[in-house]
Amino acid sequence: MTMDYADHSSLTRYAWLSIAAATLTISMKAAAYLLTGSVGLLSDALESLVNLVGALVALAMLTIAARPADESHPYGHSKAEYFSSGFEGALILVAAISIGGAAIPRLINPRPIEQIGLGLGVSMGASLVNLVVAQVLLRASKRNHSITLEANSRHLMTDVWTSVAVLVGLAAVAVTGWERLDPIVACLVAANIIRSGLGIVRESLMGLMDSSVPTEDQDKLQEALEPYVESGVEYHALRTRQSAARQFVSLHVLVPGSWTVQRGHRLLEKMEGDILRVLPNATVFTHLEPRDDPASWQDTDLDRRDTGSITARQ
């Protein structure tokens, strides 16, 4: 049984918002770098360029993920979102390497920074744009269970914290006159970006490996099934899988062998409906078995591969 879930084709408008924000902030941060010559602001502008590439990939993957199931992809295309978030995580790592490459020469041969006040103002404006857009994307990702929007939001927030660090570094240079603070801050920013990028890549890989649904959703599932257990219905071989916005649940339900097919069918329909009420984005598969048949108890493991048991049940 499957419950209809939100039309994720509408999520592309958030990708367009991210593209617009990246384009605007690239212009602002590039201007700030040209005004000041700060390698910290250059690193900030480079990360915004990565944001733009990530947003374009997010748009492409959200468009694919919104496609309905077809003969070649009977479970839909939602996993495309993991490719987007993984790619964006990799881009974050590339940005970190680029920042480090730009900062190290300046650390060895520092240069004076010009027009710090104007550069700070322009960069601060760009950071505010990213902060607002990141929060919009984060709320949309939670509302629509979209890992692509979540990765995009986290990437933008990394950009915001990068900008904050750069601004602090520039302010420290203005106060102390120590020009090496600028590239030092840029290197610290690169290290923080690497941490964020690795987290996004890891989450994407876990999704591609068919991880179970989050712990809080597993708890909801158990709560939905508890009344049936209390009434004497048993189940086993419970499996869950998260695929971007979609979830999949399967289980074997054991009832007395004397039950009619119609009675068992009504029970499964009710169980599936209760599961869908707590996991509305799920596709639920149930399998009915007679409780008094020994073969019914030979598949309690998650992955049944005992061919002898399969033969016995046939």
| pLDDT tens-place string over residues 263-285 | 999 999 999 999 999 998 888 99
E strand map for 96-156 = none
| Mutual angle of helices 12-36 and 147-176, in 10-degree steps | 20
| pLDDT tens-place string over residues 183-199 | 787 787 778 778 777 87
- Name the residue type at position 152: N
- Please report, to the nearest 10 degrees, the dihedral formed by the alpha carbons of residues 159, 164, 167, 173 taken in order: -120
pTM passes above 0.85: no
How do the domains of the chain map onto residue ranges?
A: 8-208, 215-313
Output the CA–CA distances (angstroms, integers) from residue 42 to 21, 45, 48, 106, in the order listed: 18, 5, 10, 12
Same fold, 8-208 and 215-313: no
Output the CA–CA distances (angstroms, integers) from residue 106 to 115, 255, 258, in the order listed: 18, 73, 81
Give me the sheet containing 282-290, strands edge to edge: 234-243, 246-255, 282-290
| pLDDT tens-place string over residues 199-219 | 777 777 777 777 788 888 999
Domain 8-208 has CATH 1.20.1510.10: yes
| pLDDT tens-place string over residues 10-64 | 778 888 898 998 888 888 878 877 777 776 667 667 767 777 887 888 888 888 8
Q: Which residues of 195-210 are buried (b: 16+ CB within 10 A; e: fewer)?
A: ebbeebbebbeebeee
Residue 300: pLDDT band with limits 50, 70, 90: low
Beta-carbon neighbour count of residue 5 at 10 Å?
16
- The pLDDT of residue 1: 53
Q: How far apart are CA 261 and CA 284, in angstroms?
A: 19
- The pLDDT of residue 31: 81
- The pLDDT of residue 152: 80
Beta-carbon neighbour count of residue 31 at 10 Å?
17
Output the CA–CA distances (angstroms, integers) from residue 46 to 23, 198, 202, 243, 292, in the order listed: 12, 18, 23, 32, 66
* Residue with the two structure tokens 């924000």: 21
Asked if the model's pLDDT at residue 130 lies above 90, the reply is no
Under a CB-based contact definition with an 8 Å cutoff, are residues 3 and 278 in contact?
no
Summarize the confidence of residues 248-253 as an average pLDDT.
92
- The pLDDT of residue 117: 66
| pLDDT tens-place string over residues 49-67 | 777 887 888 888 888 877 8
Beta-carbon neighbour count of residue 225 at 10 Å?
19
Q: Find, among 96, 100, 82, the residue nearest to 202 by Cα.
A: 82
Q: Find, among 7, 6, 11, the residue nearest to 147 by Cα.
A: 11
Residue 105: pLDDT band with limits 50, 70, 90: confident
Supply the CATH classification number for the domain 215-313.
3.30.70.1350
Asked if the model's pLDDT at residue 309 lies above 50, the reply is no
